[in-house]
Structure 1
Amino acid sequence: MKIYGYKDEGLDIEQIVPAELAEITLVASPDELRMIASFLKTAAQEMERMGEAYDHEHLSDKNEPYFDNSPHFVVAREE
């Protein structure tokens, strides 16, 4: 597993280059953590089902509109 991220510096999406992170901290409510856990479980099942065809999923796409104004939380297939 690897974790990537970047600071919100107001750059255009084309200018953003994610960096590998050593640690992340989730500041979330119990309800948000439950939604994230459910999202991760569903993403794992979808990844297994799709195999190599699986690319990535966004938490905000699966839990609209709850996470619309949150930082992007993305799950991607390991290469």
Structure 2
Amino acid sequence: MKIFGYKDEGLAPADTSLAELAEITLVATPDELRKIAKFILASADGMEAIGRDWEHEHLSDKQKGFERSPHFVIYNPEAGA
């Protein structure tokens, strides 16, 4: 597993550099953590069911309440392989 991210500098992700991160910290309520966990489990199920054709999903597209949160994306390491 690898973790990547963008520094929040008020710029669009296209105008920043993607960096591999050594650590992440989630500052979230128990309800938010449960929604994130549900999203992660659904992403794992999608990867297993669809395989390398399942590329990525955004938390904000799947769970209400995260539209204004930092982007949380699950990416399939085997996508397109």
Q: Please report the TM-score for the alignment, with normalisation by the length of structure 1.
A: 0.92
Spell out, residue by residue over 1:8-50, the C-alpha distance to the aligned partner (whole angstroms, 9 max, x if none): 1122332222100000000000000000000000000001111
Equivalent residue, structure 2, for 1:28: 28
Which stretches of structure 1, 4 residues or longer, exceed 3 Å deviation after superposition?
Answer: none
Aligned sequence identity (%): 59
Equivalent residue, structure 2, for 1:72: 71
Give 2:73's aligned amino acid.
V
Mark the runs of 5 or more structure 2 residues left unpaired by the alignment.
none
Give 2:69's aligned amino acid.
S
Mark the runs of 5 or more structure 1 residues left unpaired by the alignment.
none
What RMSD in Å do the two structures reach over aligned CA positions?
1.0
The correspondence of residues 1-79 of structure 1 with structure 2, limited to 5 A, is: 1-64=1-64, 66-79=65-78
- 1:59 & 1:19 partners in 2: Cα distance? 20
Q: Please report the TM-score for the alignment, with normalisation by the length of structure 2.
A: 0.90
- The total of aligned residue pairs comes to 78
